[in-house]
Amino acid sequence: MYYDRTLETHEALFVSRSRQRITVLGAELADEFQRNDVTNYKAELIVELEYAIKALMSTDLTWTADEIQLVIDYYTKVAELTAFGYREMIFNPTPIEVACDCDTMLTLINDIDIKVDANYSYLLSLITQIDIDYKAADTAIYDYINSLTLGGDAIWDKDQTAELDVGGVVEGDEYLTGSPLQKTLEDLLTLPPAIENFTFDSWVDLVEIGDTLVVTSFSWDVIGTPANLKISDDAGILTDQAVSGTSYTPGAPLNYPFATGKTITWTIEGDRMDPVTISVTSVYKSYFDKEVTADDAAVTITEAKILAASVANLQRTSVSVIMAVSTSNTEQGFIAVAKTQSQPDYSHWRVNDNNNSTIETGEFIRPPVDVTVSGVVYRVYRWGYRSPLVDTLTLQRTDND
């Protein structure tokens, strides 16, 4: 008998799938026999079941792979019944045309009501035994399938554990070896790749308007295995520059001029990951200084005094300006802010929550005056003589910014 010897791979695969199909067909026929109608579907089930049983009852099963392929093609191509799985892993299919003998099939079930009881008992016992047998036989088939390669990669070499929640999958769920859906499951259950700490060697948040930023190298950290990484900027200097690893050094330094106030953004992106961006904005400097005075009259602030200020820094001033100041009771202090960055005028000042007020005539900080510095108009805010102040001073547009 064929089961007393070691089957060839294609024979073992066919036997296993035939046993499975007999179980399915038997269950379907048991359901169909409960109805008295005569249909082509009953005929198809009977023909296929009979053929599958005869194949398993063969005394030698000395079929070639091509002969088994003809049977597989008949059921999958002609009868449109997907009876045998994994067919394309083993065989190179060559479809054939077989005519459907519907009259013969209908003749087989003309006396179905008479034979149903006897057939049902036989099928039920057969199905029970086959169901036990094919589960054991499939172990060897799965071992064989797992050894196959598709495009050079093993179908599955380890259990897959979900790394994230997605749909009905919960982090920690395990999917066992042997699944032919390897790539789909890996992509579905694995955390997507990501980029962190994207920067370049001269990166700063702010630069002074008029400066040129020189970039000699980019760097980043990776999570997972990002693929097809590329860097671009919105200044038109880098466009989809392919990169790999965790750094990129251009062939020559890249120059980014900030002749006028603007923001330049760099983006790194790749397959199945969220893009990561960094930006640099250009602003004018803000200034603080002080001048000794002997009376309450407002001191005159000039371009030269602003450029010679003891404190000059870069900060975003569209909402407020914050400066560390230090004035004694014999000095007047001033803060100068580029007008284009601070319109409308700041209306309030604050040192702490218990010391703040409005900026207007008669108050601690006087209304601002315009002073042109290197062609740029600055608004200059001054505060008075006999009022020492050593703290962080904030100028803002509302009393609660």
List pLDDT tens digits, range 37-73. Answer: 555 566 666 666 666 666 655 545 666 666 666 655 5
pLDDT at 301: 94
Domains of the chain: 2-147 (no CATH), 153-189 (no CATH), 195-282 (2.60.40), 284-396 (no CATH)
Q: Which amino acid appears at position 99 of this protein?
A: A
Residue 320 pairs with which residues in a beta bridge?
396
Residue 230 in contact with residue 270, Cβ under 8 Å?
yes
Out of 145-149, 174-178, 201-205, give the one with best mean pLDDT: 201-205
* 386 pLDDT tier (thresholds 50, 70, 90): confident
> Which of 296, 322, 295 minimizes the C-alpha distance to 311?
322
Does the N-terminal peptide bond of residue 344 adopt cis geometry, omega within 30 degrees of 0? yes
Q: Report pLDDT digits (tens) over 305-342.
A: 999 999 999 999 988 999 999 999 889 999 999 998 88
> Which of 207, 199, 194 minimizes the C-alpha distance to 164?
194
- What lies within 8 Å, CB to CB, of 280 at 6+ separation is 203, 204, 205, 206, 207, 213, 256, 258, 263, 264
Q: Report pLDDT digits (tens) over 100-112.
A: 444 444 444 444 4
Q: Is the dihedral of CA 57, 59, 60, 62 positive or negative?
A: negative
- Residue 343, sorted as left (phi over 0), alpha (psi -120 to 50) or beta, turns out to be beta
- In this structure, the number of other CB atoms found within 10 A of the CB of residue 286 comes to 24
Q: Report pLDDT digits (tens) over 5-26.
A: 677 776 677 677 766 766 776 6
pLDDT at 8: 72
Q: How far apart are CA 28 and CA 267, in angstroms?
A: 58
Pairing of strands 389-396, 348-352: antiparallel
**What mean pLDDT is reported for the chain?**
75
